[in-house]
Structure 1
Amino acid sequence: MPAKTPRLAKHLLEALDARDGLADVTAMPQVVEAEDVEAVIDELCDADRRLPVVLASTPHDVDFDAWLEGTVDPLVRPLVGLAILYVLTPGAESVFNRALEHHRVYNGGIRTYLPGVDPAWPADGQRHRVMSKRLITENPRLAARILNQLPQGIATRLPLPDALDSVPLMRTRARDGVGGSEQERLRDENDALHEILEEAAREQRVRADEIRDLKRELRQAEGNEHVISPRKVVRDESKSVKANGDWSRARTFPVPRHVHPDGKLFMGAHLRIGGGNTIAPRLHYYDGACTDHGIFVGYMGPHLTNTMT
C-alpha cells in the first residue's frame, strides 16, 4: 500500500526548517534560477540524500508562473515531505541540461532523481524517470498518480531515522502473557509518549497560529508594500561559493558583537528580487530570530560574484 502524506506534513514544513542532506525539504516547489543550478546539482549528487528530487521544467510556449501554479503545484501536492521539489526557470533549464547532459529534463517534462546521481555515467540516466509534457497536459490525474508512485513507494521502504527509530513502540493493549511489571512499564511508556505527542501538538498549534497571523498581516499589507514569495528565499549559498575565499568574504557583513564575537557573519541566506537573471538585486540577511537576535540585513544590491557572474 503506497504511503499517504498526512496533512500535518505541509503545516510542519511551513513552520520548520527541514533538510535532507544538503537540500531543503519544502511544502511547495522551489524555483531554480540559473545561479541556483550548481547548488541543485550538488544536492542531486549528495551521498547523504535519502529522498528523491522531483524536478519540473517549463514549456517554451507558456507563462512560467501560470505553469507553476496551474500545473506543477497541484501535480506534486501529494509529494509534500516525500520528495524535494523544484521547478526550473527557462534560463536555468539550459544551464542545467548543459551540466547534466545524461540527465536532462526539458520543455515541460518532469524528472524524478533517485539518490546517488552520477552525472558522468550515461547509463545512470536510465534510473531517473522522465514524464513527458504530453502526459501531464492530456491526462493530469494519471500523470499525478504515476509521478507519486515512486516517492511514495520509497517512503514505505526507507528505514526510520535514528532519532525516530529509538522511540519505543506505543501499544494500546498488553501482549498475552506479559507480567504485571512489564505492563506497568508499557503503561509508563504509553503515558510518556502521549505527553510527547500532546506537547508536539501544542507547539504545532502555536506555530500554525503564528503562520496564520503572518499570512493575515501580509494579506492586509498596504498597496505600496511588496510581499516576496517564499519561492524567492534561498537559505544558503552553494558549496563552490562558500569554498571560494573572495566570494565568501564578499558575503560576510557586520553584526553587533552580542550576535557574534567577531562582529561579522557570513550571510549565505538571501532573497531574489526582480527577474531571474544574474543582474537582478539580491538581499543577503542573517536570521537570528530563533536566538532573540532578530533579523539583520547585511547587503542589498546587484548580484554578488559567483560562477554565473
Structure 2
Amino acid sequence: MELGYRAILRLDDGESAIEVAESQLSAWLRSKGRSGIDTFDWDGAGIYRVGPSATLTVVHADDYRDESRRRLYRLQERNSGSTWEVSLRAFDTPRSRSHAQSLTIDVSTDLADEPRVAVAKVAPPKLARMILESHSARDGAASLSGRPLMVRGDEAQEVLAAIKDTDRTAAVVVAPAPWGREHEAEWQQVVTSLTRESVGVAATYILDEDATGIVAAGLPASHTVANGVVRTFGPHVDTDAPDDRLRHLMLFPDTLARSLSPSRKVAAPLAKRHAESTRLRMVTRELPPDLRRGIDVLRRAEADQQRSQTVASRVSAYESELRASPAPNSGQSGLMSYIGTLVKRWLKADRVDEKSILDLGAKLEAQAVEIKLLNEQFDSLADENGRVRDELDSTRDQFDELHLAVTIAEDAVRDNEREMSVLRNKLVSAGASEDAYVEPLADIWDAPDDMYELLARITPGTKTHPVFDQVVFTGDQDAAFEIEKRGQGMRYAHAFWDYIHVLYDYAGGKERGDVTCGVHQYLKSDQLDGHKCSPERHAPTESDTTLKRWGKERTFPVPKVVNHDEEIRMAAHFKPTWTDTFAPRMHYFDDTDGTGKIYVGYIGRHLTNTKS
C-alpha cells in the first residue's frame, strides 16, 4: 500500500479531536451508503465489517499518566480488484504546550508502487472536506478550509503572516483576482475548481485588489504576487534569498485559461498537476515530532490489539476443544484427567507422573520467557522501523532539495558564463585581448577531497596549509566528520575550502590595509580585489529570534587572547546550500581587528533555528 494523500489538521484547543473524528466519520460512512457501506456505528476498539468488502479497524491508545487519548479509525475497502485505505487519527493531548487537538487523514492504495504515482491515483477524501467545512482548523498562521477564503483589504495581513510563518507545514495558495469586484464570484469558481485536489493540504486565499496590493508590498520582488497569477508558497519561505523564489511556483493566466471549460471549471489534469508538488511533499516529508510519536504509539497499540485478538481466538478454540472432550470424573481423578490433557497437548506424552508435571511447568515457563523476549524484540524492531521511516522521509526531502539546489547552481553557471563571454568580447573589441586571460589558481588552492583533509589544513598539526596563518579551526571535528559519514564529504569539502579561501584573502586585505569593511561588504564590493563567492552564500548574522533562543548553540571555542572566557558567539556563517535538509554550515568569528586571524568554530549540520 502506497500513501497518496495526507492532511494534518490542528483544531482549536476548545474542540475534542476524538469527538470531531467520530461524528464526522459516522456521517461520512452514512454518505457512502450507495458504495456498499451498510454499517455506520462501532463500539470501542476492534475490527468491524461495515460492508461486504469493507472493514473498519478502531484502535485506542490512552495514557492515564498525561491524560492523553489517541484513536485510529481505518476504513479498508476493496473494489474492482483494488484496495483503498482511509486512516483517520485523532490526538487529544491536553498537557501539550501546543497542538493539544490534532487530526491526520491518510489515504493509501495498492494501485501504486511509489509516492508520485499514488498522489496521481488518490483524490482528497470527502471526509477531509466535511471536517474542514464543519470545524476550524489551522496550520500555524494559515487557515485550512474546505473552500478558498475571500480576503479583502487589511485582512491581507493574515495572508502575509501565513506565508512567512516558519512553523507552517501546509502550502499557502494565493490567488489575486484578475478582474474587478463584479467578477469575483466567477474567479472564486475558477480557484475552487483549480484547488479541489489540494483540500486539506493547502490554505487557499483569494485576494481582492486592495489585499493584493498589501501582500505584494509586504514581499520582495522575488516572492511577489500579481493579479491573475496563482502562486503556491511552500513551507519555510526565505524572503531574504532571491533564489528561494524557485520553490514557490506560479500558475499564469494563459495556462489557466487554456484549461478552463465554458462553465469555468478547471480541467482535471491541471488541477492534479497544480496540487502535485504540495501533495507529494506532505506524503514524503517527515511528520512533526508530536504526530510522529503519536502514530508510533498507535502502531504499537494496534499490534498489541491484533496479538490479543489472535491469542483470545486460539484460547477460545482450545477451551472449546477441551469442553468437547469426554467429561472427567469428579474428584482427584477428574483433575488428573485435565492435567493429562495438558501433558498430552504440550509434551506429546500419555503418562502423567511427577516428572511430566515438572516438565510441563518448565516448558510453560520457557515459553513465557520466550514470549517476553519476543515482545521486547518486537518493541525494539518497531523503534528501528520508525527510525528507518524517518530516515527515508529525510532522504526524500534531501533528494528534492538537492534537485532544486542543482537547478539554482546551473542557472548561476549559465549567468556567469554569459557574463564572462560578454566581458571577454568587450575586452577583445577594446584591443585588450591579453586582459581576457585569467591566470589559474596556484596549486596550493586545489580543493581537498574530503572533510578529513580540509580540517587537517586549518587545524594545528603536521599538515597545516599556508592558509592556517590566518584561518584557524577551533571547533569539534566530529560534527564535520558527520558530513563525511553521509557520503557528502567531497562536495562540501570543495565548497567550504572555497569559503576558507575567501576568508584568507579577506584577512590578507585587512592586514595590508586594502580592506576596511566586514566580510559581507567585501563580498559585495567590485572595487576590492581578492577571492570571493556569491554574497548569497554568506550570512553576516542570524535573526534576533534565533540568537535569543539558540545563541548558546552558536558559541564556540577561541583562544584566550580572543576572549577571556575562551569561547565566543559565532553568528556569521557560510551556507553552501539553503535548501538541503542536512544543510551543512561553517560558522566563524572575524578577529582580524584583534589577533589578525579568523577562527572557524563550527563545520557541520545546520544548527537549530526557526525553520528546524
The normalised TM-score by structure 2 is 0.28
CA distance in structure 2 between the partners assigned to 1:127 and 1:159 by the alignment:
18
Q: Which residue is equivalent to 2:143?
A: 24
SS at match of 1:94: helix
1:134 aligns with 2:265: no
User: For 1:65-122, what per-residue CA distance to the aligned partner results, in whole angstroms no more than 9, with x for missing partners?
Assistant: 2333321111112211011111111221122112212212222111110101122322
Correspondent of 1:167 among 268, 283, 298: 298
CA distance in structure 2 between the partners assigned to 1:16 and 1:82 by the alignment:
15
Equivalent pair of 2:176/2:209 in contact (CA under 8 Å): yes
Name structure 2 gaps, 5 residues minimum.
1-117, 260-265, 316-612
Q: 1:120 to 1:179 in 2, by over 3 A?
A: same
Equivalent pair of 1:44/1:113 in contact (CA under 8 Å): yes
Equivalent pair of 2:163/2:233 in contact (CA under 8 Å): yes
Correspondent of 1:155 among 274, 282, 292: 282
2:228 partner amino acid: G
Q: Which residue is equivalent to 2:209?
A: 90
Equivalent pair of 1:64/1:89 in contact (CA under 8 Å): no
1:43 partner amino acid: A
SS at match of 1:74: helix
User: For 1:119-167, what per-residue CA distance to the aligned partner results, in whole angstroms no more than 9, with x for missing partners?
Assistant: 2322211210000111111113243122111121122113442444432
Q: Which residue is equivalent to 1:77?
A: 196
Q: 1:179 to 1:110 in 2, by over 3 A?
A: same
Q: Which has the higher contact order (CA 8 A, sep 6+)?
A: 1
CA distance in structure 2 between the partners assigned to 1:8 and 1:17 by the alignment:
15
Q: Which aligned runs of 4 or more in structure 1 are off by greater than 4 angstroms?
A: 181-184
SS at match of 2:223: coil
Correspondent of 2:245 among 117, 121, 125: 125
User: For 1:214-263, what per-residue CA distance to the aligned partner results, in whole angstroms no more than 9, with x for missing partners?
Assistant: xxxxxxxxxxxxxxxxxxxxxxxxxxxxxxxxxxxxxxxxxxxxxxxxxx
Correspondent of 1:44 among 163, 180, 184: 163
- Mapping for residues 120-269 of structure 1, pairs under 5 Å: 120-139=240-259, 140-141=266-267, 142-160=269-287, 161-162=291-292, 163-168=294-299, 170=302, 180=311
1:167 partner amino acid: L
Equivalent pair of 1:58/1:67 in contact (CA under 8 Å): no
- Mapping for residues 274-293 of structure 1, pairs under 5 Å: none
CA distance in structure 1 between the partners assigned to 2:183 and 2:138 by the alignment:
27
Q: Which residue is equivalent to 1:221?
A: none
Q: Which residue is equivalent to 2:173?
A: 54
1:95 partner amino acid: I
CA distance in structure 2 between the partners assigned to 1:158 and 1:167 by the alignment:
20
2:162 partner amino acid: E
Equivalent pair of 1:107/1:133 in contact (CA under 8 Å): no
Equivalent pair of 1:19/1:25 in contact (CA under 8 Å): yes
1:157 partner amino acid: T
1:115 aligns with 2:217: no
Structure with greater helix percent: 2
Name structure 1 gaps, 5 residues minimum.
185-309
- Mapping for residues 284-303 of structure 1, pairs under 5 Å: none
The two structures, once aligned, show a CA RMSD in angstroms of 3.1
Q: 1:98 to 1:168 in 2, by over 3 A?
A: same
Equivalent pair of 1:45/1:116 in contact (CA under 8 Å): yes
Equivalent pair of 2:197/2:272 in contact (CA under 8 Å): no
1:18 partner amino acid: A
User: For 1:170-207, what per-residue CA distance to the aligned partner results, in whole angstroms no more than 9, with x for missing partners?
Assistant: 47x969xx9848999xxxxxxxxxxxxxxxxxxxxxxx
CA distance in structure 1 between the partners assigned to 2:203 and 2:283 by the alignment:
16
1:97 partner amino acid: A
Q: Which residue is equivalent to 1:14?
A: 133
Equivalent pair of 1:21/1:43 in contact (CA under 8 Å): yes
Equivalent pair of 2:222/2:242 in contact (CA under 8 Å): yes
Q: 1:62 to 1:145 in 2, by over 3 A?
A: farther
The normalised TM-score by structure 1 is 0.53
CA distance in structure 2 between the partners assigned to 1:90 and 1:16 by the alignment:
29
Equivalent pair of 1:118/1:124 in contact (CA under 8 Å): yes
Q: 1:179 to 1:107 in 2, by over 3 A?
A: closer
CA distance in structure 2 between the partners assigned to 1:72 and 1:183 by the alignment:
56
Same amino acid, percent of matched pairs: 27
Q: 1:158 to 1:64 in 2, by over 3 A?
A: farther
CA distance in structure 2 between the partners assigned to 1:182 and 1:96 by the alignment:
62
SS at match of 1:167: helix
SS at match of 1:116: coil
Q: 1:69 to 1:42 in 2, by over 3 A?
A: closer
SS at match of 2:276: helix
CA distance in structure 1 between the partners assigned to 2:211 and 2:314 by the alignment:
59
CA distance in structure 1 between the partners assigned to 2:208 and 2:154 by the alignment:
11
SS at match of 1:115: coil
Q: 1:165 to 1:74 in 2, by over 3 A?
A: farther
Equivalent pair of 1:25/1:84 in contact (CA under 8 Å): yes
